[in-house]
Structure 1
Amino acid sequence: MADMADNPTPAKKLSRRKTVPVQPSALANHQLNLFQGFLANSGDERELLSNAVDLWDNIPRYSVSRSRMNAMRTAEGFLEEIELPFQYKGRMLTAVIHPARVNSKDGKRLSYYPSAREELIEHTLRKLSAEQQAGFFDRPNFRSGVLFSLHALRKELERQGHSLRYDEIIEALDILSLSTIDIVASNADGEEICARSSYLDRLTMIRRKDYDADRNSRWSAQFHPLVTQSIDRVTYRQFNYQRMMKCRSQIARWLLNQLVLKYTQAAMLTPFEMFYSTIKRDSALLNGYRLERQAISAVDDAWQELKNLGALSVITKNERRGQRNKLEDVIYSLLPTYEFMTEQKAANRRQVNSHGSPKAS
């Protein structure tokens, strides 16, 4: 699939195609080795790292909370598709999210958008894919993903402070594989181009009786085509996955991803600026607040959380006011910690090294 920001083209719906088994060559190849090969000084440092994916991680795809979903559902349990405009590299795009329809505990079928829980599980699957013989990249069939057991997935979530029951994990995987997302852009002629795919493009599950007999039985999850494209083109960046998983709020996780992907030349004396209006537009995580000051307070708290987690050393907040002292925007000026600056330099070196490597066939 071509880069949506440059030349958007419709994505093929892979879920209707015949399942293609993961061949040994997809579990060990040069392009996958680059994705799995973090630049770190030790095994302990490597355990802290995962990959952020541009443009996929810029899309506001987990922005509706469970409480908002409950308020939005019809009496029959349906949710409508939701449109979320955002900007990527100066170009306006729209994410259209089609909810999944799954069985609830009481047997009633309800609609769900992927939300905070599903976000954590996707990041955990991506982390697991960095392990040898777990991640796969299959260029001929243009797919990437991970082979995993529910036990390993659950243990990794627990290790990062997010304990979930097996049924909660299975429900989240259902939501990720059944929800679809359209990325809509306009071409040079003003025509709208839409690329559609599931969050997890295909999920291969183990039957319940086999799972009960062996909880280490391996499932297979196929990542969104934009993740596959990123592995193919080496447009991902290594980042401190453990810090991200420690974030208590979604807005803090989103802000951290923005810093990782955009503050690439982080330096102790070079501030990075973000506008509240940009955060509100591109994250879509602040739409549920009734009052603007409540949303701004949530952003303030998120920045402080990132400071407490060792990403930022200085946060300066400047309010932009207009007529009658009306608040028009807030500008945040940020300085990194030495630790975050070092992490970004390592990510830059890794990208340079990877682009200098010959591409696998």
Structure 2
Amino acid sequence: MRLFELMDPSESDYSNTVELYDALPKYVWSITEEEVRKNRVLTRSFKSRGVVYQVKIKPAVVERKKGGESESVMLYPGSREEMVEEVLRKLAVNGNLGLAADGNNHTIGVYFTVNQLRKELARTNHTYSASEVLEALDVMSSSLLEVSQGKGSDRDAYRGNFLSSLAVRRREAYLEDGTAKCFATFHPLVQHAIRTQQFRMYDYSTSMNIRSDLGRYFFKRMSHYWAQASLDNPYQFKLVPFLESSPRGLSPRMKDNMRAIRLALTALAEEDVILPNWNETMIKNPQDRRQTVDVAYEVFPTESFRKKVMRANKKQSVVTGRAALNDVRSAIAHQPGSSNSGSSLDNGTDNVFDDLENVAAN
């Protein structure tokens, strides 16, 4: 578990991305009241490493004060919750990672204070009041995220809160004293990734500086999957499947989709992640060449981003080596003659449902 931490002072600008969980289109950046009335549980399709998943997001019902009285409102986890979750994970890698007893098992989480969250959010230019941070924590601990694979009798599904459990003082007390310790356990998929070393170091500071939601989503995917970034190995994607699998979704008009991609890529170029001269290839409708049905992109890394990717690769090699050593020690101490697969690294897929029973058990 300690392999997840980044305690070297030279790694102060970094955190970890998590396999599958961070790529899921789990946040809701915008939604109309009509969409909410039509279906309160949002369903999205997502494809990663050749595996197709279905993602369902059930909103939280939280209480707000209005005119001296409480009213219940329905909220989906959005950009605010995304930022708070990023800071919670940053605190975890900086030494606040902890375990909580859960029957015969232990769950992985993070110790924090509301003041810590607010201070780090403000440092990265995301300023929220104590009440807003508490509401974000409430939303994350109440919203449900279900990820499934397959259909019918072959369908595997796993459901959990964005924060599986949350221990805080009463809201009124915490608004008076923001220094009291809290503890939140991560989503089961995040805990599973930490236990099995399915995470990768990335530039947290740059991510928090990106003002475009879609640009930030791009950046985390590039940081996690573009491990061989170079001018000879560009990041390639197509507009339609990418947006369909993102929290933004696909707009009816192609020009709106193209504009969203260009703004996101421009935001990355401004943060010295990619070069500003990416390639766009229009894919036309064979029956009507005037109609663009998709766009293929090639994006090239800056030298700065390439060096950070190389550093992340080196860090991953260290984690791999230490995890293997820990497995050998465990095998000698507890299971002589057998292998321990509990700390295996990514085998080229992110099909966590192969390990579903292990996730539930742990």
Distance 1:212 1:164, change over 3 A: closer
Deviation for aligned residue 1:280:
1.2
1:60 equivalent in structure 2: 25
Matched, 1:311 2:276: no
Matched, 1:335 2:295: no
Superimposed CA distance per residue, residues 50-90 of structure 1 (whole angstroms, 9 cap, x where no aligned partner): 1100110111000342xx1544344xxx9611111110210
CA RMSD of aligned residues (A): 2.1
Secondary structure at the counterpart of residue 86 of structure 2? helix
Q: How does 1:114-133 map to 2 (within 5 A)?
A: 114-132=77-95
Distance 1:208 1:83, change over 3 A: closer
CA contact (8 A) 2:109 2:184 kept: yes
1:36 equivalent in structure 2: 5
What is the CA–CA distance in structure 2 between the aligned matches of 1:211 and 1:276, rounded to whole Å? 45
Matched, 1:86 2:49: no
1:144 equivalent in structure 2: 108
| Structure 2, unaligned runs of 5 or more | 331-362
Q: TM-score, normalised by structure 2?
A: 0.83
Q: TM-score, normalised by structure 1?
A: 0.83
What is the CA–CA distance in structure 2 between the aligned matches of 1:266 and 1:101, rounded to whole Å? 42
CA contact (8 A) 1:239 1:347 kept: yes
Matched, 1:179 2:136: no
Structure 1 letter corresponding to 2:86: H
1:345 equivalent in structure 2: 310
Deviation for aligned residue 1:124:
0.7
CA contact (8 A) 2:239 2:296 kept: yes
Matched, 1:224 2:193: no
Deviation for aligned residue 1:141:
2.2
Superimposed CA distance per residue, residues 184-203 of structure 1 (whole angstroms, 9 cap, x where no aligned partner): 1128x951111011000000
What is the CA–CA distance in structure 2 between the aligned matches of 1:122 and 1:208, rounded to whole Å? 19
Distance 1:47 1:282, change over 3 A: same
CA contact (8 A) 2:254 2:292 kept: no
Secondary structure at the counterpart of residue 108 of structure 1? strand
Superimposed CA distance per residue, residues 247-268 of structure 1 (whole angstroms, 9 cap, x where no aligned partner): 1121111111111111111123
CA contact (8 A) 2:115 2:178 kept: yes
Matched, 1:278 2:241: yes
| Aligned residue pair count | 318
| Structure 1, unaligned runs of 5 or more | 1-30
CA contact (8 A) 1:318 1:331 kept: yes
